Amino acid sequence: MVVMTSHNNLVPVAVLGLGAMGRALAGAFLDAGHPTTVWNRSGGKGEDLVARGAVLARTAEEAVRSAELTVVCVVNYDASQAILEPLADALADRVLVNLTSGAPERVRTAADWAEQHGITYLDGAVMVPTPLVGGAQALILFAGARPVFEKYETTLKALAGQAAFLGEDHALAAVYDLSMLDLFYASMSGLVHAFALAREDNVAATALAPYLNTIAAILPDIASGMAAAIDAGDYDGQEANLSMMTASVDHLLHMSRDRGLDTGQLEAIKAVADRAIAKGHGADDWSSTIEVLKLKG
């Protein structure tokens, strides 16, 4: 039997799942001084955490019952539900924080299951790589009942200095996560293509990088302006309109093709812009392309 002794007045926590992220989360709780119980489906993990003060539970139920708040972070929602469903009784009247990555649809299903079993449920998305977990700059997004987030905010800030509450819809953390990744991969791909284009004219990537950063530096203002335009549905193009910008994309496309470079991303960007121009947005801002991104209702 595991005997839990709370050494301080910090919330006793459990972490289910000791992959790289689960271990980082448990480590952050330990660093903050929380009584921390850990468990992993397959054995042989967590000994490093025990050396740092964690208790290794023999069963997931034992871990949950030792804690006031349980964090689960595993590979996907199939895995998290497989672990959680047998624990419904143990979790009732306790707090479950699911930091597993998954589709908004799966989060809503998990939240419905939790509600049916009287489990207080917050969903979350870890937005930083494992080495940053627990740090002041680490961002974890949370969604669910606001009073629960507020009650445990200090505990959750042990995991991420930037613990952000998004709203009552449990899926919001997953939605923001997806949208942020959407921009992330578009930019990652754009970065590499930019380096490839420059390389064709003998420009080293390290020479170009500081100039690419001037583009990254203007994105926040552009995103804020676009957001206001999109929410208002008012896409009035001022400095640069969609027709002018699409001509610029077409120029890039031709320059890339001339150099034998892949043009898939540029063609996809131009196809959307062309569709928006055909729909009458030529004199509007680039943000007007959102009106043609929805293909079916």
57-116 positions binding a copy of itself, by CB under 8 A? 103-105
| From candidates 1, 3, 51, 293, binder to a copy of itself by CB under 8 A | 293
Coil, strand or helix: which one is 162? Answer: strand
Residues 6+ apart with CB under 8 A from 243: 277, 282, 283
Q: Is 252 in the site for a copy of itself (CB under 8 A)?
A: yes
Is 2 or 192 the residue whose CB approaches a copy of itself more closely?
Answer: 192
| From candidates 33, 86, 118, 264, binder to a copy of itself by CB under 8 A | 264
Name residue 165's beta-bridge partners: 142
Q: Is 213 in the site for a copy of itself (CB under 8 A)?
A: yes
User: C-alpha 254: how far from its chain's center?
Assistant: 35
| From candidates 171, 237, 277, 284, binder to a copy of itself by CB under 8 A | 171
| From candidates 64, 69, 158, 172, binder to a copy of itself by CB under 8 A | 172
Q: At CA 58, angle to CA 52 and CA 63, rounded to 5?
A: 70
Q: Is 267 in the site for a copy of itself (CB under 8 A)?
A: yes
Q: Is 44 in the site for a copy of itself (CB under 8 A)?
A: no
Q: Is 248 in the site for a copy of itself (CB under 8 A)?
A: yes
Is 82 or 192 the residue whose CB approaches a copy of itself more closely?
Answer: 192
Q: Which residue is associated with the tokens 């959750």?
A: 156
- Cα distance between residue 102 and residue 105, in whole Å: 8
Q: Is 226 in the site for a copy of itself (CB under 8 A)?
A: yes
Region of 22-30, 31-39, 44-52, 237-245 interacting with a copy of itself (CB under 8 A): 237-245
Is 61 or 291 the residue whose CB approaches a copy of itself more closely?
Answer: 291
Q: Is 10 in the site for a copy of itself (CB under 8 A)?
A: no
Strands 139-144 and 120-126: antiparallel
Q: Is 269 in the site for a copy of itself (CB under 8 A)?
A: yes
Q: At CA 183, angle to CA 181 and CA 187, rounded to 5?
A: 115
Q: Which residue is associated with the tokens 């293909």?
A: 295
Provide the token pair at 254. Answer: 């031709």
Mind giving me the DSSP string for 29-83? HHHTT--EEEE-SSSS--HHHHHTT-EE-SSHHHHHHH-SEEEE--SSHHHHHHH
| From candidates 79, 88, 197, 283, binder to a copy of itself by CB under 8 A | 197
Q: Is 136 in the site for a copy of itself (CB under 8 A)?
A: no
Region of 34-42, 50-58, 82-90, 264-272 interacting with a copy of itself (CB under 8 A): 264-272
Q: Distances in Å between the alpha carbon of 45 and those of 26, 190, 267?
A: 12, 39, 47
- Minimum CB separation from a copy of itself for residue 240, in Å? 7
Region of 24-32, 43-51, 116-124, 189-197 interacting with a copy of itself (CB under 8 A): 189-197
Name residue 125's beta-bridge partners: 141
